[in-house]
Chains A and B, each alone.
Chain A
Amino acid sequence: MGALVSVLDLKKDYKVGETVVHALRGMDMEIEAGEFTAVAGPSGSGKSTLLNLIGCLDTPTEGKVLINENDVSHYSKKELANIRRESIGFIFQTFNLIPILSAFENVAFPLSLLHWDSEKIQNNVNQILKDVGLEGMEDRYPRELSGGQQQRVAVARALVKEPTIILADEPTANLDSNTGGDILDLMRELNEEKGATFIFSTHDPMVMDRARRLINLKDGMIHSDERK
């Protein structure tokens, strides 16, 4: 059986006016189910670009991304939206909760998109909010939550539909290091208990320490790749 995610000679160019920026210059990697992977590297090394391509938010210039052995690199926008809806969870640097929805409703949002029935939504959302330590805060709005709590809601939102893979582009960059550490611990816990597959990018050595696999990028290429 193949890997959960396979990246094959992946290249991504951006055109900025006349010049072309080679953000990814040919990358190969495999991510197995249940891995807890950090992508590190200096600013501009291509971390976000890589995560966006794996997350089906963008399509590569060359090369392939396989998710569950399906080549998504030539999918239409609609097909990409379907994959994201069903199989991919996102955690963002700036939390990106919907301000007019309560914690519960924010977590329920991806399930509503999947047309789950309300009883099932109720059960799953309450369970995951308990898992991320927000029991009793279901009815709070994002503005009534601390940054760390908001990111916990975001983690719950990413996990609630039990996606194939969860992508997090610098999930702790907007948090102080203690809170960031807590979020990482939470993600790792969910990884161990639920077997959720995480790929996250970071600048923070403390976050890298908590990863079980660390991929270092440099100038759009893989500089090092180690499992701990």
Chain B
Amino acid sequence: MLFLIRFAFKNIWRYKRRTIITFIAISVGIVLFVFTDSMLKGFHYESVRNFIDYESSHIKIYNQEFYDEMSDEGFLLLDKGIENYKKVQDIISTEDISVTPRISFNARMINERIGGERPFTVIGIEPDMDKNVYSLKESIDSGRYLKTDEYGVIIGKMAAKKLEVKIGDMLTILTRTKYDTYQAISVEVVGIINPPNPQISRSVAYIPLDIAKRDLDMEGDITEIGIRAKDDDIEDLLDDISSELKSNNMGYLTAVSWRELGKDWLTLSRTKTAGSYIIILVIFIIAAVGVINTMLMSVFERIKEIGMMRALGMRDNEILWSFIFEGAAIGLFGAVFGVVIGLLVNAYQVYIGFDWSFMTNMDVDIGYRIMDVVKGVWNPESFIFAATFSILAPALISIYPSLKAIRMEITESLRTA
């Protein structure tokens, strides 16, 4: 066996150029695979992070009717809010979670100076509580965070650019109250945030909860309670909260997990991942065709030599193994090379990251909650899979032509040119 392995390693250098091209193809396949895998996982993790930190929190409590209408039609029904939310807070509060009330409503925002107008989701927040649940405060880019009871607004950097506003400018929020009457709220831009979540940056504005309550005639109601837990696995907590709500006669409320809230884009993200793997598969197939070609050629060009070796008494299985080892050896070189380059490229992606802002700047919803730089993740399995596949595939591919060659009569093999 050792002799056959040594023989195989010598044989791969028979056609240097072809071998090198083949193992470059294998390496490129590996690099693209581990890179894309890391990138997609990075997109996903980052998106989950930014979704929880800026949109969904871990669990939200809604009025069931509000939630149904919001998820079915996208309407935010202010008359289907949560009454007496302090009591709800008391019921669900434990040491391990932070909670905060919010009022979300649809509005149009008008730049009072030049008149530009855009649709927004405006959210009333309780500044001191909100920062324990969401990451708004950390993403202030210029200006400051909101104060209680001021006619101030915080908007995202992308929205500010679209509306052409800066700190100190006045915006009019055009909306309807709980009783469906028109309302215009004039607010001053006090802060501009640059969140890593394009949905937030593009079309969400924040005002103090008191202002929203008062100017929308909410009479103390809010539309949702956001809850932050210790970690992202909140299924047990969700069950506890749901049963607490029920047993306290608050069955009209529903507790919804971030996974449920994000199911649309999570599905989209999975579809995109599948799509990307198809592209990778195509790359793998191209590499495999190169490998198949190399292995076919290296066997069929050596028909006469195979005949000679059989004449010298080399057994058929020894010939088969020598070609299997040869395929594996080419794969091994490709794998080593590909894994080394893959490690380097991915190290860059994991520790520095690539800038994807060209994608988020296109103003289209790509589903992912990412802005500019996204870092990849280390996924040892993808390296192990790619390397194993790269070694096994050429080894297995070489079986077919070898079997054909050893099924030939020796005398016939020897007669070939």
Contact = CB atoms under 8 A, between A and B. Distances in A.
Contacts of B314: 81, 85, 113
Contacts of B409: 58
Contact of B311 (A84, A94, A112): A84
Interface in B292-322: 304-305, 308-316, 318
A132 B398 CA distance: 37
A77 interface: yes
B316 A81 contact: yes
Interface stretch (A3-11, A97-105, A174-182): A97-105
B354 interface: no
B310 A81 contact: yes
Contacts of B414: 57, 92, 96
B271 interface: no
A11 to B, nearest CB: 16
B14 interface: yes
A98 B313 contact: no
A156 B152 CA distance: 97
B411 A86 contact: no
A53 B318 CA distance: 23
B312 A110 contact: yes
Interface residues of B, number: 21
Contacts of A82: 313
A85 B14 contact: no
B11 interface: yes
Contacts of A86: 313
B13 interface: yes
A113 to B, nearest CB: 6
A98 B305 contact: yes
B322 to A, nearest CB: 11
A46 interface: no
Interface in B1-54: 3, 10-11, 13-14
B411 A110 contact: no
Interface in A72-121: 77-78, 81-86, 88, 90, 92, 94, 96, 98-101, 109-110, 112-113
A85 B410 CA distance: 14
Given A57-B410, A113-B318, A100 B311 contact: no
A58 B409 CA distance: 8
B11 A113 contact: no
Interface string A152-164: 0000010000000
Contact of A84 (B3, B14, B312): B312
A52 interface: yes
B10 A92 contact: no
A52 B307 CA distance: 12
A55 interface: yes
Interface in B382-417: 409-411, 414
Given A96-B305, A100-B14, A112-B3, A78 B312 contact: no
A186 B312 CA distance: 21
Nearest to B2: A112
A85 B308 contact: no
Contact of B308 (A58, A83, A96): A96
B410 A58 contact: yes
A114 to B, nearest CB: 8
Contacts of A52: 411
Interface in B252-299: none
A57 B313 contact: no
A83 B308 CA distance: 15
B316 A77 contact: yes
A82 B304 CA distance: 20
B311 A55 contact: yes
B11 to A, nearest CB: 6
B411 A57 contact: yes
B313 A110 contact: yes
A113 B311 CA distance: 12
Given A57-B410, A57-B411, A58-B411, A100 B312 contact: no
Nearest to B317: A78
Given A98-B305, A99-B14, A57 B311 contact: yes
Contacts of A113: 312-314, 318
Nearest to A110: B312
A90 B414 CA distance: 12
B350 to A, nearest CB: 41
Interface in A137-169: 157
A85 B305 contact: no
Contact of B13 (A57, A81, A100): A100
Given A57-B410, A81-B313, A85-B314, 7 more contacts: A77-B316, A84-B312, A96-B414, A98-B305, A109-B309, A113-B312, A113-B318
A-B pairs, top 5 by smallest CB distance, nearest first, are: A85-B313, A84-B313, A96-B308, A112-B3, A57-B410
20 contacts: A55-B311, A57-B311, A58-B409, A58-B411, A81-B314, A81-B315, A83-B313, A84-B311, A84-B313, A85-B312, A85-B313, A90-B311, A92-B308, A96-B308, A100-B11, A100-B13, A109-B309, A109-B312, A113-B318, A157-B312
